[in-house]
Amino acid sequence: MSRNYKFHNKSGLYFVSFATVNWLDIFTRQPYFDILSQSISYCRAEKGLELYAYCFMPSHIHLIFRSADDNPAGLLRDFKSYI
């Protein structure tokens, strides 16, 4: 099975979820949440992220988002490369 997200409607609204390797509980301390928050803020300001909802869990993240630039794959790539 492919690990790449498939976006058939580039301007659509999407729910995505991704987890840490081996589902380790990494996001349990404030500095790690700050990194996630800063990355979200950066992508909203600079990358065209329209964020409708999110949930940070100890081992995974859920996002409901849309790409204003009609490039959801590139947006997720940039977000995940930072975090």
Number of Cβ within a 10 Å radius of residue 61: 19
Residue 1's pLDDT is what? 40
Q: Which domain holds residue 64?
A: 14-82
* Averaged pLDDT, 73-81: 88
Structure tokens of 15? 């729910």
Q: What is the value of pTM for the model shown? A: 0.82
Number of domains in the chain: 1
- Domain-embedded: residue 4: no
- Domain-embedded: residue 20: yes
Whole-angstrom distance, CA of residue 77 vs CA of residue 24: 21
- Domain-embedded: residue 64: yes
- Domain-embedded: residue 5: no
- Domain-embedded: residue 3: no
Q: For residue 8, what are the CA distances in angstroms to 11, 12, 51, 53, 70?
A: 9, 8, 19, 21, 11
pLDDT per residue as tens digits for the range 10-55: 889 999 998 888 998 988 889 988 988 899 999 999 999 999 999 9
- Domain-embedded: residue 9: no
Q: For residue 4, what are the CA distances in angstroms to 31, 42, 49, 80?
A: 28, 23, 19, 12
Tell me the CATH number at 44: 3.30.70.1290
